[in-house]
Structure 1
Amino acid sequence: MVGLRHVVVLCLLAMLAGCGASETLESFGGPTMGSTYSIKYVRTAEVPGPDEVQRQVEGILAEVDRQMSTYRSDSDIERFNDLPANSCQPMPEPILHLIRTGEQLSQASDGAFDLTVEPLMNLWGFGPQAREIKVPDAAALTQVGLRVGHAHLHIDGQQLCKDAAVEVDFNSIAAGYAVDRIAAQLTQLGIRSYLAEATGELKAVGQKPDGTAWRIALEEPRDDQQVAERVINVDGFGVSTSGDYRNYFQQDGRRYSHTLDARTGAPITHQLASVTVLQPSALMADGLSTLLLILGPEQGWAYAEKHQVAAFFVMREGTGFVTRSNKAFEQLTAVKP
């Protein structure tokens, strides 16, 4: 009995010291949504191994793709997009949730952010049905503009309805939603520390096995090489960066970004190159980073300050960049003593 008691005491001391908990850093990833995803998590004896976690994560990603992809004709949202005006279609709750989120963001930005810009994206050459990358003529813009506007959508019970031939594009928020779903599933599996990322949207919770924070590199908005503008510590927040530097074209000496302002029907032209947002929800970080980027360096900054959105702005200045972050952002990314 003395020997057994001695063993128990030693085990308790080891647990209190953190030595008895066998923690390893597991990681996996793969293709998704036309890009990639990656998961890192701290595995303890109580949580599943990477094969099982990957199976569940990829199940979520496959569901999001079936429901929300604009690049497959059989997705729920593309079947809705093919319907004519004055049509309704039963929808799964996740799609209705994103429609409500899109309405909230549209109203908050006076219509600058809008989920129904897919016809405009196609017209400018950036969308899934784009035929040519060019500046469209005024008549084409006016005609397509009749099919844009969140006000043309409404929810009737479990149905999504439209009174014009609008087409919904979830690319500004679907990845953030997927990250939130993955984070919730990891938590349900008993995983307390993880870094979940999909197509660049991410959420980090807890710490690595050595007790250090998850560190996220914010890229300088360049299209020629990857350069870290800043590295931040993240715990408990979704992180999203929206920028105009990866998908654009030039015509007659002018640069046209894939980020469109639904109010004008045209790409943004201001000097704000990228915005990083931290929010408890990766979905809201995803949507708000796009919203702020569309609004620009003055209106976007004013919105972030008014609504206490933790934001990091990168603006073009000459041949380089200048940065600006608000108090909310600095407080969330401050190194803990």
Structure 2
Amino acid sequence: MAGVLLLGDEDLFTGRWKVVVMLAGVLAACGNGDSMESFGGRTMGSTYSIKYVRHANLPVPAQVRSEVEKILAEVDKQMSTYRSDSDISRFNELPADRCQTMPASILELIRVGEQLSQQSEGSYDLTVEPLMNLWGFGPQGREEKVPSDAALTEVRQRVGRQHLHIDGHQLCKDAAVEVDFNSIAAGYAVDTIAAKLEAMGIHNYLAEATGELKAAGKKLDGSPWKIALEEPRDDQQVAQRVINVDGYGVSTSGDYRNYFKQDGRRFSHTFDARTGAPVSHALASVTVIHPSALMADGLSTLLLILGPERGWDYAETHNIGAFFVIRADTGFVTRTNQAFERLSSGKTE
């Protein structure tokens, strides 16, 4: 296992539940007029941070920040299950056999969720929110505990992608399902921010929201963006591995931040929709690197749900760059495929 590693300016630990900017301070401008700009704030119940190299002819930092925060505010207004006035919360309140006109972004994520659900044979599912609430992890969760068989049977009738369909610009349901975008919304936001930065002429940047990130180009000194992959511990933050990223999204999903224990067993917030229960295998975390932060976000969750064997086979079959951290009697063991090694070298294809 790796020890604590102090990274240079602008580098990040990545993980779904916590991101720490290491040694961020006042960043000086170069003699040619270029400078490293940095800003961040609160979003989606967590934080975001943007770092980029600014040339003299690029928009002022205040304008860049304004554009980024517009995107984050729109994603929150559309996709947050923690605010009652969001588009998806209003949809979730609808009874069965109703439809609601939705923004194109939500319909896009529904289609991505359908794809991931099909490819995981139903283990990944965007409609698990009733299960999360029942077990105490969701926005309406009351108590973290193992539910009764009767309660679980009732709730599972309201879970399943087959109950959703798109009709033109409308999202419809034939059962009282509730959609949760927590496994892909942040990745979508990062991709949207990255596209906006590129459109503004910013090509050297690191964009991060709630632990999902995308980096492109180089830092001010010409060195690559370095990302620290966090060891799956809940007592302290330790860098297990450091990778270079250029042109890719990176997402880490783990079961080590949000869980409870009952009768000596550990129950995490990660659910397999086929069983209606939290996963119980030895896979502690998965990091995925992918050209799309949205897909890295969704795929890291999917692989974590599938576990150390099924998840590994899925990653290999679909040529997904993945870094697995697996619990063992002696601590943690890691497993990395060739696609991850290639993509984490910091070189674009």
Classify the TM-score, shorter chain: over 0.9
Q: Secondary structure at the match of 1:215?
A: strand
1:212 aligns with 2:223: yes
Residue 269 of structure 1 is aligned with which of 257, 277, 280? 280
Aligned partner of 1:194 in structure 2 is: 205
Residue 234 of structure 1 is aligned with which of 245, 263, 268? 245
- Alpha-carbon shift at residue 319 of structure 1 (Å): 4.6
Q: Distance in 2 between matches of 1:210 and 1:185?
A: 23
Q: Distance in 2 between matches of 1:88 and 1:310?
A: 37
Aligned partner of 2:122 in structure 1 is: 111
Within-5 A mapping of 1:132-281: 132-281=143-292
- Alpha-carbon shift at residue 50 of structure 1 (Å): 1.6
Residue type of the alignment partner of 1:318:
D
Which structure has more helix as a fraction of its residues? 1
Q: Secondary structure at the match of 1:94?
A: helix
Residue type of the alignment partner of 1:245:
Y
Q: Secondary structure at the match of 2:118?
A: helix
Q: Distance in 2 between matches of 1:162 and 1:91?
A: 13
Q: Secondary structure at the match of 2:183?
A: coil
- Alpha-carbon shift at residue 332 of structure 1 (Å): 1.3
Q: Distance in 1 between matches of 2:94 and 2:110?
A: 17
Within-5 A mapping of 1:299-314: 299-314=310-325
Residue 34 of structure 1 is aligned with which of 35, 45, 51? 45
Closer/same/farther in 2, CA of residues 238 and 335 from structure 1, 3 Å limit:
closer
Deviation readout 1:70-120 (Å, 9 max, x if unpaired): 000000000000000000000010000000000000001000000000000
Q: Secondary structure at the match of 1:240?
A: strand
Q: Secondary structure at the match of 1:180?
A: helix
Residue type of the alignment partner of 2:300:
S
- Alpha-carbon shift at residue 282 of structure 1 (Å): 0.2
Within-5 A mapping of 1:311-330: 311-330=322-341
Residue 70 of structure 1 is aligned with which of 81, 85, 89? 81
The alignment of Structure 1 onto Structure 2 pairs a total of residues equal to: 318
- Alpha-carbon shift at residue 49 of structure 1 (Å): 2.0
Closer/same/farther in 2, CA of residues 137 and 205 from structure 1, 3 Å limit:
same
Residue type of the alignment partner of 2:306:
L
Residue type of the alignment partner of 1:123:
L
- Contact 2:245-2:345 within 8 A present in 1 as well: no
Aligned partner of 2:345 in structure 1 is: 334
Q: Secondary structure at the match of 1:22?
A: coil
Residue type of the alignment partner of 2:133:
N
- Alpha-carbon shift at residue 335 of structure 1 (Å): 6.2
- Alpha-carbon shift at residue 21 of structure 1 (Å): 4.2
TM-score (norm. length: structure 2): 0.90
Greater relative contact order (CA < 8 Å, ≥ 6 in sequence): 2
The runs of at least 4 consecutive aligned structure 1 residues that moved more than 2 Å come to 19-22
Q: Secondary structure at the match of 1:301?
A: helix
Larger radius of gyration between Structure 1 and Structure 2: 1
Aligned partner of 1:56 in structure 2 is: 67
Q: Secondary structure at the match of 1:289?
A: helix
Deviation readout 1:195-227 (Å, 9 max, x if unpaired): 000000000000011110000000000000000
Residue type of the alignment partner of 1:260:
F
- Contact 2:107-2:166 within 8 A present in 1 as well: yes
Q: Distance in 1 between matches of 2:168 and 2:90?
A: 18
Residue type of the alignment partner of 2:140:
Q
Aligned partner of 2:10 in structure 1 is: none
Q: Secondary structure at the match of 1:191?
A: coil
- Alpha-carbon shift at residue 334 of structure 1 (Å): 2.6
- Alpha-carbon shift at residue 182 of structure 1 (Å): 0.2
Residue type of the alignment partner of 1:301:
W
Aligned partner of 1:8 in structure 2 is: none
Residue type of the alignment partner of 2:310:
Q
- Alpha-carbon shift at residue 23 of structure 1 (Å): 1.5
- Sequence identity of aligned pairs in percent? 75
Q: Distance in 2 between matches of 1:316 and 1:90?
A: 44
Aligned partner of 1:296 in structure 2 is: 307
- Contact 2:289-2:344 within 8 A present in 1 as well: no
Q: Which runs of 5+ in 2 are unaligned?
A: 1-29
